[in-house]
Structure 1
């Protein structure tokens, strides 16, 4: 078993290859949370026909791309700004708002805290409670909002818990944040995988709240992390102007523009993805819920958090077991408020999911 304390991101397959001697092409990554269907068939067949696009600069305003995004999300294209992945937009937003004290739910994605720290701010966590299955207690949470906090960051559905905040509860949060002068950034990286996107997404709320910005990308749902295409939605046009003024021009290349437009209109691919994830999410949740060795938490994204109930096992041991069988899961012990009893895996194709379930449930 691996003795040193290594933790691997879903993109760290080269490190796995080096340490374990397994070719990265042979590894099924249940850690990256990427759509198992791969890229859009429309994109695969038609992008090459547009190779000549690289001979000219893209439209500086990205109008056609933003209109495609707006049609897909159900919002005004003038409320959208594009970026080189959502990571660039997180960084730009934090640089513009310059928060002194940010509040984040924990456990969650680490990049938020990193960007705030780089900007000189401090981060405070509101812990999601295991006793409540990591579901946010909205009323208690609201009671912790005060004038000292100037930025709230919510990942919805949350990574790694896969729990969510419904739109009605988000309204309560936004109303209270408005009272205290708190800006809210909602990361919706995984919302497109949710059973009912309209019930969870806050896109429509951007019409009512000018203290709200939503982040999305194409890395996970559209299986295109290398495309580096992200976007933000907000009804605050002053903020949009500030972002556009600060960000570098042409951060999205011509092929990424065309690829984005293709992906957002590939409805067959979108429907197939939602159908696959929906079915596997329910199947695997019930499979692990019936086991006495694990406690699954009801997932709303394309991944599930498990608590290991068997005291003879740990997250690092299960990671090691799975990777030796060429499957990569996430040891969650580096997330705030989690420990060696938690693992996370995303839903892949049924045959791969079956193989992972057999590996994890094996005595």
Structure 2
């Protein structure tokens, strides 16, 4: 039997080649990028100021730190910037070099890759489907056993779209502090949450020095190619070590300039939140009315769905969608996610309607 292909969230070229279609014709629901695209205000200002590339960026990124601080309500002295959140994740894991790390799964595969590069042992704490992938805090705290040097949390989590609220996150950080464990919190999707202030750990940086929040602009600001990320931590020692090991001018002039523009674009930020919050509510109401699907409450700009219809797989739904030029995520490649699951992000209303209709037809055809 021919093995089915596996595709990831941004495999447009691979999918286009396999299904003999033009990638330009594919509507991508799997990359989790803001459907509004790059802000027109940022685009015009950036185009008018491309001469920033003729100058080195400020080595200390002072103005950018202040802008990030104002945007996140954080101390600029707690901030480090980098070449995308990926660089900061890599630097942090490399510097800490934990012999054992506990990762909340299922989740983004890059964490495991970085840990493998430094030879660290990886232990997963599995979110439970029976609890709708909502973290059981007391049970999780029991898993903080001796030898763990690093805990990695994605909040909201990818692919489950579940979230840990700030009070519970403080319980985790506090418990880890007592055990000498550092916590890395990836908040890539936090700005999409119904109430970002309820889940972000950034306000805790003034009280704890054993964690770092990492964010970027790839998803919320629709700028994955810019490679601008930032981290926030109350640990002065860690900040010093990161800057010592980081290449000078890691973030280029365009990234630093555009990053400031993005974080100050309040109209775009509000428009994005309004769109995602409205469509998240509307789409989930429609999905909940469809027999054969189980919807898990989403906090990010995407939703995880379990297929309950016998004989219908996640790959079946993936193919039904791709044959209509709609690309969703078949979640079978997430190693700790058992069962038949798909994930897709919320786009513009007409695109969301098109996908819902596609899923309804695919489910009906199996009756």
| TM-score of the pair, normalised by structure 2 | 0.97
Quote the residue 1:226 is aligned against: 225
The within-5 A match list for 1:92-241 is 92-241=91-240
In 2, distance between residues paired with 1:13 and 1:109? 18
Establish whether residue 42 from structure 1 lines up as the match of residue 29 from structure 2. no
SS at 1:284 equivalent: helix
Quote the residue 1:25 is aligned against: 24
In 2, distance between residues paired with 1:336 and 1:181? 29
Larger mean Cα displacement after TM superposition, 330-339 or 179-188:
330-339
Residues 103 and 125, structure 2, Cα contact 8 Å, conserved in 1: yes
Establish whether residue 15 from structure 1 lines up as the match of residue 14 from structure 2. yes
Quote the residue 1:272 is aligned against: 271
Residues 218 and 225, structure 1, Cα contact 8 Å, conserved in 2: yes
SS at 2:294 equivalent: strand
Quote the residue 1:87 is aligned against: 86
Quote the residue 2:357 is aligned against: 358
SS at 2:140 equivalent: helix
Residues 156 and 299, structure 2, Cα contact 8 Å, conserved in 1: yes
Mark the runs of 5 or more structure 2 residues left unpaired by the alignment: none
Q: Deviations over 1:63-105 (max 9, x none)?
A: 1111111111110111110111101101100111001100011
Residues 212 and 231, structure 2, Cα contact 8 Å, conserved in 1: yes
Quote the residue 1:347 is aligned against: 346
Residues 302 and 344, structure 2, Cα contact 8 Å, conserved in 1: yes
In 2, distance between residues paired with 1:85 and 1:6? 29
In 1, distance between residues paired with 2:335 and 2:11? 21
Residues 293 and 361, structure 1, Cα contact 8 Å, conserved in 2: no
In 2, distance between residues paired with 1:181 and 1:290? 47
Larger mean Cα displacement after TM superposition, 210-219 or 21-30:
21-30
What is the CA distance between 1:106 and its match in structure 2?
1.2
Q: Deviations over 1:27-59 (max 9, x none)?
A: 111000000000112111111111111111111
What is the CA distance between 1:194 and its match in structure 2?
0.2
In 2, distance between residues paired with 1:100 and 1:361? 47
What is the CA distance between 1:138 and its match in structure 2?
0.4
Moved >3 Å (runs of 4+): none
Larger mean Cα displacement after TM superposition, 90-99 or 3-12:
3-12
SS at 1:225 equivalent: coil
Mark the runs of 5 or more structure 1 residues left unpaired by the alignment: none
Quote the residue 1:51 is aligned against: 50
Quote the residue 1:295 is aligned against: 294
In 2, distance between residues paired with 1:69 and 1:8? 34
In 1, distance between residues paired with 2:54 and 2:110? 35
SS at 2:48 equivalent: helix
In 2, distance between residues paired with 1:259 and 1:11? 23
SS at 1:226 equivalent: coil
What is the CA distance between 1:340 and its match in structure 2?
5.1
SS at 1:227 equivalent: coil
Residues 295 and 304, structure 2, Cα contact 8 Å, conserved in 1: yes
Give the length in aligned residue pairs. Answer: 362
Residues 306 and 339, structure 2, Cα contact 8 Å, conserved in 1: no
Q: Deviations over 1:270-319 (max 9, x none)?
A: 00000000011111111111222100100000000000011121111111
